[in-house]
A and B are shown apart, each in its own frame.
Chain A
Amino acid sequence: MITQFIKSREALLLLAIAIVIALVSTRFPDFAAPANAANIFNDTSILIMLALGQMVVILTRCIDLSVASNLALSGMVVALINSIVPGLPVPILLIIAISLGMIMGACNGILVWKLDIPPIVVTLGTLTIFRGIIFLISNGEWINAHEMSASFKAFPRFELLGLPVLSWMAVLTVIVFAIIVIRTPLGRAFYAVGGNPHAAVYTGIDVGFTRFMAFVIAGGVSGLCGYLWVSRYAVAYVDIAGGFELEVIAACVIGGISIAGGIGSVGGAVLGALFLGIIKNALPVINISPFWQLAISGSAIIIAVAVNARSESKKGRVILKKAEQTT
């Protein structure tokens, strides 16, 4: 078990994260202090949640480019509702945000399932459509802090056992995803569909439906993050989280989720997101321009994919042998 873990992708990532923290700590000893660590985690919470949603989609050999637009639209809708009906309690807004996100995810899923359109095309389309809808419902105007009710803004910041609710939401999401992925037939189906769609069909798994469910789950997470993002930054406008989907996919790739589907773990996705979050927080501390952050994340992605490709090429040779045997 222990040797297996040491060889795993998660261990490698943990090591990379430890090295980054150690390097930064030499210049800024308080970087790893609990208070700062909690801050970084809180900052990365939304990325972690979205990466988990994206992970299940990628596991089924699909991809969802619309998560950030979905987040922005859900966030705008709850912000609008809050500005019109300030008295509506936060739990109801949460339910609205999640359901709205799930509906958008279902749109993606239906198109992939029933019309058999490649996921990258479907979600590239809905990415633009969702953004367009935000413009339509907001007339391109911002919703600012003073238009939001106090409880709306306070919810993600509310401290519980030393951590803000936003962080607890991320923890809860990690637990729920771990249960879905490891302990439910649907979670197992994600792996089977991505690992070998043909074999999945023969075992009685409905490949299209499984992908649909992955999109719905990813959509629900995006909706939830929509509310959290808007309330945390206390502003909603057309372009929030613009391009964030790429960071989410980057977190997945760094975390060892195979773009070819079927391989990946909750731990990997979380560590991938944390790695990006730590880099993002560390660079300003040691006075490196934030532009370097882009270069570093980019390099991390390429290194991660190269490591993946190397570990998968070993499998490739086995497959080749098999192909020869059957001829």
Chain B
Amino acid sequence: MLVNTKQPETSGTQSDADTQSGLGRAVLSLSGISKEFPGVKALNNVSLNLYAGQVTALIGENGAGKSTIVKILTGIYQPNGGTISVNGAEINFPNAHAASAAGVTAIHQETVLFDDLTVAENIFIGHAPRGRFGLIDTVRMRADAEALLTRVGADISPTARLRDLGIANKHLVAISRALSIDAQVVVMDEPTAALSHKEIGELYALVERLKAEGKAILFISHKFDEVFRIADRYTVFRDGEMAGEGIMQDVKEDDLIQMMVGRTVDQIFPKIDVELGETVLTVAGYSHPTEFEDIGFSLKKGEILGFYGLVGAGRSEFMQSLFGITKPSKGAMRIDGEIAIVRSPAEAIEKGLVYVPEDRGKQGAVIGLPIFQNITLPSLDKTSRKGFLQLAEEFKLAREYTERLDLRAAALDQDIGNLSGGNQQKVVIAKWLATQPRVIILDEPTKGIDIGSKAAVHEFMGELASNGLAVIMVSSELPEILGMADRVIVMREGRLAGEFDRDTMSAEALVRAAAGIGEVAA
């Protein structure tokens, strides 16, 4: 249930925004919204106002809280505090249905439609026109769908199966659906992420049409060029807090970047200066037919190499190919100067290269297995003798590495599922360290864990480097990259977009390279 903690400044923010715009009341207004998850404060006192016939861009880094606010807008999450009002009237969205009834609809990054239903069924699912006996009136549904599709300028048959449509057409279906429920507010969550140039052009035209119809549009995007092209207003989030809002005409690109990244450094990064050793890993010309192209770099002992980029830049995919999960179409890897052919994760582990995946729930921990068995899983050849596991050896290995990581658990034979997120992350890292690797790839090592655990992971990362391990850290969090990395490689759309060392790396430079606006301003 929604708890309304009415704050006095709420109404003030509202009227400020109104006077700024000079366009009257916002159709939808969120103010003083906070949302907490166990151990993580996702949103802290943020507000967002959407106006009829205007596009508001929501800008922020990965993890700034954009997705969370969309989920609050669409009734999937309930905020811990703050108010939502529609046309000035305060309202609660206890579930997705309530949000949709209030006229809020969202078009998501991945379209949430049903592949095996027809276009018309997708548009009207949940509110299909009924005929006699309450049965679905198929004829009217098709006719209405046809009319809606024409209105958005889509040349799609209402009886086509959704599976057979391209992504752009799926978006059009989603938009038709939005129109069919007479939405006042349309949320577009990175709608252009998967579209081609031409399709993006068509999407812009559609947004213009929605504007003309008086819809209030929230447009979430990483791409500055499209924000400047399409948005009337902007709101910037940073680390779950408001970093600025206003009218697009009054702002320059640099200001937006400043709002996005400029922050007080409240986390102290235990960066240890390490004497770099000889080169351990060299990668040249790694390519994949669809995910990345011509990636190359080298890595020295004791070095922490950051990989920065937007979500979907191909960083994880590239790392997975180094680790032998996907096969590169081209490219060579050398470990200690010798060509290393890695066809499977087992071979990578054997050669001293390990990968700590991003999604520890899905790819890291085996829930149901006790802690010590999770840790020894990749080291079973070490803990077994003549093909039989030695439980005492397993416990010894597990104890050694959990102690090094300062893991707090009642017992090593308890189910890993009972641990908190941060501690699970420690177990997953302990698992890899127990294989005694030469190169360790950490993919978003601190994503979704609490501050305390974050600091422990950072400290440990520094320790690893000072012990001569070569570390690759894939991260979308700028402070983490700036605080920990000796060198940073930026990837954009599957390609190298820049390399920075400690002297040249700055928040602005990295964001520019990642978003592809370096050339414009420089």
Contacts and interface: CB of A to CB of B under 8 A. Distances in A.
A183 B385 CA distance: 10
A262 B71 CA distance: 33
A322 B388 contact: no
Nearest to A179: B388
Interface string A249-274: 00000000000001100000000000
Contacts of B345: 201-204
A192 B366 contact: yes
A146 interface: no
A183 B367 contact: no
A297 B165 CA distance: 49
A185 B369 contact: no
Interface residues of B, number: 45
A287 interface: no
A182 B373 CA distance: 11
Nearest to A323: B361
Interface in B156-179: none
B348 interface: yes
Interface string B478-493: 0000000000000000
A201 B40 contact: no
A263 B368 contact: yes
Given A203-B345, A325-B38, A195 B368 contact: yes
Contact of B366 (A199, A323, A326): A199
B280 interface: no
Given A183-B389, A185-B389, A188-B377, A202 B361 contact: no
Interface stretch (A15-23, A149-157, A216-224, A313-321): A313-321
Nearest to A258: B368
Given A199-B363, A202-B355, A206-B344, A325 B39 contact: yes
A173 to B, nearest CB: 18
Interface in B344-397: 344-346, 348-350, 355, 357, 359, 361-369, 373, 377-378, 380-381, 384, 387-389
Contact of B348 (A182, A204, A206): A204
Given A196-B365, A200-B366, A203-B431, A326 B377 contact: no
Contacts of A262: 366-369
Contacts of B133: none
Contacts of A325: 37-40, 421, 448-449
B325 interface: yes
A185 B391 CA distance: 11
B38 A321 contact: yes
A203 B448 contact: no
B271 interface: no
A252 B378 CA distance: 28
B447 interface: yes
Nearest to A326: B448
Interface string A301-327: 000000000000001001101111111
Given A183-B388, A315-B417, A324 B37 contact: yes
Contact of A203 (B377, B384, B389): B377
B68 interface: yes
B369 A201 contact: no
A283 interface: no
B367 A195 contact: yes
Contacts of B71: 327
Contact of A326 (B348, B388, B447): B447
A205 interface: yes
A144 B186 CA distance: 76
Contacts of B196: none
A321 B37 contact: yes
B361 to A, nearest CB: 5
Interface string B406-418: 0000000000011
Nearest to B350: A204
B389 A198 contact: no
Contacts of B357: 198-199, 202
Nearest to B347: A204
B67 interface: yes
Nearest to A325: B448
B366 A191 contact: yes
Given A205-B377, A315-B367, A326 B389 contact: no
A184 interface: yes
A325 B39 CA distance: 8
A321 B361 CA distance: 11
Contacts of B37: 321, 324-325
Contacts of A321: 37-38
A195 B366 contact: yes
Interface in B287-321: none
Interface in B53-78: 67-68, 71, 77
Nearest to B348: A204
A199 to B, nearest CB: 5
A193 B368 CA distance: 11
A188 B364 CA distance: 16
A196 B346 contact: no
Nearest to B71: A327
Interface in B17-67: 37-40, 42, 67
Contact of B389 (A184, A318, A323): A184
Contacts of A196: 362-363, 365-368
Contact of B364 (A191, A202, A318, A324): A202
A192 B366 CA distance: 6
Contacts of B449: 325
Contacts of A184: 384, 387-389
Contacts of A187: 389
A322 B389 contact: no
A322 B344 CA distance: 29
Contacts of B377: 188, 192, 200, 203, 205
B365 A185 contact: no
Contacts of B378: 203-204
A202 B363 contact: yes
A203 B377 CA distance: 7
Contacts of A319: 361, 367, 417
A185 B355 contact: no
A326 B361 contact: yes
Contact of A199 (B323, B365, B447): B365
Q: Which of B359, B361, B365, B447 has the most CB of A within 10 A?
A: B361
Nearest to B39: A325
B40 to A, nearest CB: 6
A323 B362 CA distance: 10
A263 B370 CA distance: 11
Given A198-B363, A206-B344, 9 more contacts: A185-B384, A188-B389, A196-B367, A202-B363, A204-B345, A323-B361, A325-B40, A326-B447, A327-B68
30 contacts: A179-B388, A182-B389, A183-B388, A184-B384, A184-B388, A184-B389, A188-B373, A191-B366, A191-B369, A196-B363, A196-B365, A200-B366, A200-B377, A201-B345, A202-B345, A202-B363, A203-B345, A204-B350, A262-B367, A318-B418, A319-B417, A322-B361, A323-B361, A325-B37, A325-B38, A325-B40, A325-B449, A326-B359, A326-B448, A327-B68
The 3 closest A-B pairs by CB, nearest first: A204-B346, A326-B448, A185-B380
